[in-house]
Amino acid sequence: MTAPAEAATEPAVAAPLLCATALAKHYGPTTALHDASVRLAPGELVAVMGPSGSGKSTLLHCLAGIVRPDAGTVEYDGRRLDLLSDGERSALRRTDFGFLFQFGQLVPELTCLENVALPLRLSGLRRRPAEAKAREWLERLDAEGTAKQRPGELSGGQAHRVATARALVTGPRVLFADEPTGALDSLSGERVLQLIRATARETGAAVLLVTHDSRVAAYADREIVVRDGRTR
């Protein structure tokens, strides 16, 4: 994978859309996060870097409302995310947040079109308009030929493009991408990163990009380093 041809343009300074302050998280005697802080503005791509076990994924999970921090605050669009109920946080993950993981995590029993449409269906959209929008995103990712296939019939690159379409189909205000190109070849990885960056610029979505790869981080506007549960 090569770095972008030109440096990413730093977005205008804006009030943070997602802000975490002094987060701490413990799993038994293990400290996963200690005094970790992050701010994401609309349209901004932030790369979170650090070695394995440094707390990167735990930080993502706290910011996305998947787990509650033991201390500190998480604010999303002016609301205390860490104080919301499980149901309220789940609703935000369906409507406002998008997720892209290294291995896609597609539902094997569904076709690719149904996988991409799934977040829309869970939010109450009827099948026909949901699948029409899903098909548009598959086309944008050059994956329209996978619509009727199931995940087990796809190559790794195809499956990841389908997963990317699913992450973006709802028009999320925040996209959480955890090692999004780790299972891809260089060319496919560049395509995914270019699309994520273009979508953020176009829609104003904030992107938190967790990676250990400096070539991936080169697509971000700035980097945060996590080491021993602390952010720098």
The reply to whether 131 falls in a domain is no
Q: What is the pLDDT of residues 2-31, one digit of tens each?
A: 555 544 454 445 689 999 999 999 999 999
CA distances in angstroms from 191 to 51, 159, 172, 199, listed in the order given: 25, 14, 19, 12
The reply to whether 59 falls in a domain is yes
Residue 25, domain extent = 13-96+206-232
Question: Residue 2 has what pLDDT?
Answer: 57
For residues 151 and 106, the answer to whether their CB atoms sit within 8 Å is yes
CA-CA-CA-CA torsion sign (141, 145, 148, 150):
negative
* Ranges 8-12, 73-77, 154-158: which has the least confidence: 8-12
Helices marked H in 141-185: 156-168
For residues 20 and 36, the answer to whether their CB atoms sit within 8 Å is yes
Question: Residue 8 has what pLDDT?
Answer: 47
Specify the DSSP element, H or E, that contains 124. Answer: none
Structural domain total, the chain: 1
Contacts of 108 by beta carbon, 8 Å cutoff, 6+ apart: 150, 151, 152
Q: Which residue has the tokens 């999303």?
A: 76
Q: Rounded to whole angstroms, how far apart are CA atoms 172 and 170?
A: 6
The reply to whether 85 falls in a domain is yes
The reply to whether 151 falls in a domain is no
Residues 99-107 have a mean pLDDT of 81
For residue 75, what pLDDT band results from cuts at 50, 70 and 90? very high
Q: Give the three-class secondary structure for 224.
A: strand
The reply to whether 86 falls in a domain is yes
The pTM of the full predicted model, rounded to 2 decimals, is 0.86
Is the pLDDT at 65 greater than 90? The verdict is: yes
Stronger pLDDT, 156 or 162, i.e. the higher one: 162
Looking up residue 63, the CATH number of its domain turns out to be 3.40.50.300
Q: Rounded to whole angstroms, how far apart are CA atoms 133 and 81?
A: 29
Q: The tokens of 147 are what?
A: 């619509």
